[in-house]
């Protein structure tokens, strides 16, 4: 259970945080290791990073956390995910650069292929995740106040379109600008953006169910009327 400075205790907050961190790590470490291709009629072949299938789940969790518990509590979860991602990147770098034991060249080559992201990719991933997640949470919180808590779907869609745009743009520009032709960079960025946004929009009915369940069992439906929206805090 999780307790806050206001004395509230929640049954599921800690579980959601743990699931969120797990998704962020897996999507960025495992998902980034493989490029896939999808053959579509009329459009043709579309190349995408495999992590696009799972990374949007983190934004779904961001919507749920902000809608139920508020921006400040989601902010703590985002920083937990960022810290875990930063440590995983540091750990990958250290392990890959340790001396290789005799006979371990094949294993080393596999590790480099899967976990040997360049500093630009690692930096782009962390900055994009942090900025996109905070934009997503901010839009949910502000729109909830503006709408008086009505029309949840508008917050889900609006926050997704804004957060995923920031995430996709920052990641690909930081990681691949100057390495890929501009046309390819734009194409992949747009494909990732629309794919991730569509994924979460299609998951809206599931988001509704989870939000309703949590509001009922937690007896919480937070409105960010007087919230300090600075991202540089972990206070609730």
79 φ, ψ (degrees, to nearest 5): -65, -35
Which residue is associated with the tokens 């962390």?
Answer: 126
User: Which is it for strands 2-3 and 9-10: parallel, antiparallel or unpaired?
Assistant: antiparallel
Q: What is the mean pLDDT of residues 130-142?
A: 97
Q: Are 38 and 46 in contact (CB under 8 A)?
A: yes
CATH class of 9-218: mainly alpha
Delimit the domains of the chain by residue range. 9-218
pLDDT in tens, 193-225: 998 899 888 999 999 999 999 999 999 999 999
pLDDT in tens, 28-80: 777 766 777 777 776 667 676 777 778 888 999 999 999 999 999 999 999 99
pLDDT of 118 strictly over 70: no
Residue 189's CB: how many other CB atoms inside 10 A?
19
pLDDT in tens, 138-170: 999 999 999 999 999 999 999 999 999 999 999
Confidence (pTM): 0.88
| SS3 sequence of the chain | CEECCCCCEECCHHHHHHHHHHHHHHHHHCHHHCEEEEEECCCEEEEEEHHHHCCHHHHHHHHHHHHHHCHHHHHHHHHHHHHHHHHHHHHHHHHHHCCCCCCCHHHHHHHHHHHCCCHHHHHHHHHHHHHHHHHHHHHHHHHHHHCCCCCHHHHHHHHHHHHHHHHHHHHHHHHHECCECHHHHHHHHHHHHHHHHHHHHHCHHHHHHHHHHHHHHHCCCCCCCCCCCCCCCCCC
Q: What pLDDT, on a 0 to 100 scale, did the predictor assign at position 3? A: 42
Q: What pLDDT, on a 0 to 100 scale, did the predictor assign at position 36? A: 75
pLDDT of 88 strictly over 60: yes
**Residue 187's pLDDT band (cuts 50, 70, 90):** confident
């Amino acid at each position: 259970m999780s307790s806050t400075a206001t004395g509230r205790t929640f049954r599921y907050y800690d579980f959601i945080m743990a699931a969120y961190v797990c998704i962020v790590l897996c999507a960025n470490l495992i998902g980034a290791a493989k490029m896939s291709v999808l053959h579509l009629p009329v459009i043709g072949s579309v190349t995408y990073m495999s992590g696009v299938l799972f990374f949007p789940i983190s934004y779904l969790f961001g919507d749920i956390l902000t809608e139920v518990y508020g921006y400040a509590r989601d902010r703590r979860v985002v920083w937990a995910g960022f810290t875990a991602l930063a440590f995983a990147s540091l750990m990958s770098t250290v392990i890959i650069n340790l001396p290789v034991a005799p006979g371990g060249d094949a294993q080393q080559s596999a590790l480099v292929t899967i976990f040997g992201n360049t500093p630009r990719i690692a930096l782009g991933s962390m900055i994009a995740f942090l900025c996109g997640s905070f934009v997503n949470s901010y839009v949910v919180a502000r729109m909830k106040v503006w709408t008086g808590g009505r029309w949840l779907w508008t917050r889900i869609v609006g926050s997704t379109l804004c957060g995923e745009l920031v995430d996709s743009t920052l990641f690909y520009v930081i990681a691949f600008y100057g390495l890929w032709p501009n046309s390819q960079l734009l194409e992949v960025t747009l494909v990732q953006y629309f794919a991730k946004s569509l994924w979460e929009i299609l998951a809206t009915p599931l988001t509704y169910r989870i939000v309703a369940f949590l509001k009922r069992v937690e007896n919480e439906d937070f409105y960010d009327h007087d919230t300090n929206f600075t991202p540089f805090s972990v206070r609730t």
